[in-house]
Structure 1
Amino acid sequence: MMGALSHIRVLDMSRILAGPWAGQILADLGAEVIKVERPERGDDTRSWGPPWLPTPQGDRGEAAYYLCANRNKRSLALDITSPQGQEVIRNLVTSCDILLENYKVGGLKKYGLDYDSLKQINPRLIYCSITGFGQTGPYAKRAGYDFLIQAMSGLMSITGEKDGMPGAGPQKVGVALTDILTGMYASTGVLAALAARERTGEGQHIDLALLDVQVACLANQAMNYLVSGNAPQRMGNAHPNIVPYQSFATEDGFMILAVGNDDQFRRFCVEAKVAYLADDPLYQTNAARVANRASLIPLLSEVILTRCTASWVGALENQAVPCGPINDIGQAFQDPQIQARGMQLSLSHPESGEAPAVANPLKLSGTPIEYSNTAPLLGEHTEQILKDAGLNPEQIQTLYAQGVISSRKAC
């Protein structure tokens, strides 16, 4: 069965995480994605280890970081700083639908590989530029990284334990969330541009900034500020708009209680044998509970401490009250629900035999996700890509001799 995007060809000239994440989404959906990398070094994340995927000989293989965002792609090791490499890109662009890049503003213009130049070759090209701060504005020429953007956007100001508590202070999220969200917006943007192209016949340029994305993804916290004029503060694991919606210590660990409405709160109180709290005007409604959280949370904390996590989770699930344990990542992958959903994969790897992978969460009934290959070796598909582009063996050998391309095959 053909993938939903099996008719689409993507030139992925991005590195690190945001752009490659978008490219991987498109590749999972069936698009042909050509990953353009520097010869010899490749994507920076190839060196971002440990951990490393070991080879059968016990040698150091690919970095886990690189493997997470480059599945289902083909690798072309090409020096785009050379005139010959630039000509290869222009050749490929004639048959591509989408180009992803995350160079600094103006970084590709000096090579004649910017949008204005390439649209002259292919007016139908959808060209997505991912930068830290966008193509305009006073910070446009600055480099932007996820950690920096988490800080500047305000995300770190609402992440971490509240002031006055042990360990208080701003915290980044435990994964590069801004990069991931930007990759998702990028994939959405290029698919929207594809839909528009069906009507207009024309491609377009997408200007996507990490800072814009993270500000947009502040969601309710951004609106809390815009409506009230008060900047939200760190609250640990508590929620600014819902109570009780946080972590609690149990007899043997911790659990999450995520009460989303008044009926759930009443059912929790009945199970916890504190039904009187649900009848108290101070706690009957969510608005009242938010206003009086300082008195309510100690009462709930005291009762939740009397039972173990498994006891609470089992009992509250029977009462349709959202709750759950706080798993580490190993425990998460052992969870029967995650296993039933097939979220852990094992893919064939040309050097290491096989490589673990995390599945794409999209479950499409008509065009399901297919996993054709793990993240490629550096330059693994160089020769085939160039042959497909019309280069003959002599031309390819000349590019090798000039150091414009490189390739790597499994031993």
Structure 2
Amino acid sequence: MTKVRYGVVFMLFITVIINYMDRSNIAVAAPFISKELELDPVQMGLIFSAFGWTYCALQIPGGWILDKLGNRKTHAIGIAGFSIATLLQGFVHGFSGFILLRVGLGAFEAPAFPTNSKVAASWFPEKERARAVAIYTSGQFIGLAFLTPALIFLQQWFGWRGLFIITGIIGISWAILWYLLYRDPQHSKKVNKQELDYIREGGAIFDAIADDKSVKSTVGIKDFAIVLKSRKLWGIYIGQFAVASTLWFFLTWFPTYLVEYRGLTFVKTGLLASLPFLAAFVGVLSSGFLSDFLVKKGVSDNVARKVPVITGLLLATSIIGANYVENTNLVIMFMCIAFFGNGFASITWVFVSLLAPKRLVGIAGGVFNFIGGTASIIIPIVIGFLAKGGNFAPALTFIACVTLIGALSYIFLVGKVERIQVKEEESLKGYESA
């Protein structure tokens, strides 16, 4: 049996690194941008959040585009688009220019994680899927852990404008490579029959729509209702908002918090800021491999899938501990525990493919990422207002409360982990009605 699926998850891993490099480079550049362009914390909060405006608004349309164009084209177009937006930020000279390009960045990144989820669901049997999700999701943490010092180095040598230009060029190059190298399993010339049968018999859903020519690629109103009225899906939607809230604190305000509110030098910040990302990397890999190990040993999905997420979200509430210590090492310790917990909870995407009706994984993934993506709008702005008076403690308390709500949503709303059943004729009618 070939092992092509392992190469595919590595490509997803690289894609996620590129995604988050282009989302987070502004956090590294923020102190210099605000100084050169004379922007206050509220304006910087708006710039941080502008990415989320279109990222959220286009999640459901992004899911539709994914179901229509497929994995290969959707990722290639998206990566190229947001990389060009990143490159152009190197030429901005005002507040409005940054807002416009961050909006463009969010628009092209909108289909990214629904596509990642669908690729994983296409290439991996259910018993390996949490591991696959953990591996590619870890790219956002390991990439940032090692990239943060590298991005600071680039900025010191080439300035913040050079930072955006160089990261944009890297992304454009990867978009070309993705289009040249990626194929879905049923179209891949590298995969053999044994691996194809293995992933199909294990619950891969690559042929759920593509192999049924009687089903149109449009989506009806009833299909949207299915993914919007389910209590189970709302449980993971709220949980995803909580996971994303902690993440977006680290992607936007964390370096500024260390420099302006904890008085660290920028070079020292670069080194210390990488530690929570390393902790999150350990957390997400530990969670994914532990979850699949438990499934292999016959443990129910209710325990194997839900417990890591709930445990991780509860650990993430420890971020509030930084409010009660002055020692820098203790501050970083609490940040590491919180982000480890966030990483441990970050296998949430596995629930989309486990709970959503097979025909609606793309749309359910779009709604899931839409709700989670609203954190990229709300969190930077709220933190900007809460920290405006020079006190960051209310902001960290706010993050801790959100993560607690996320844990409670998995405990009380998700319930038994099983696929939502929809009558076939109802689903088909939804497709045909559009």
Q: TM-score range by the shorter chain?
A: under 0.3
Is the helix fraction higher in 1 or 2? 2
Larger Rg: 1
TM-score of the pair, normalised by structure 1: 0.26
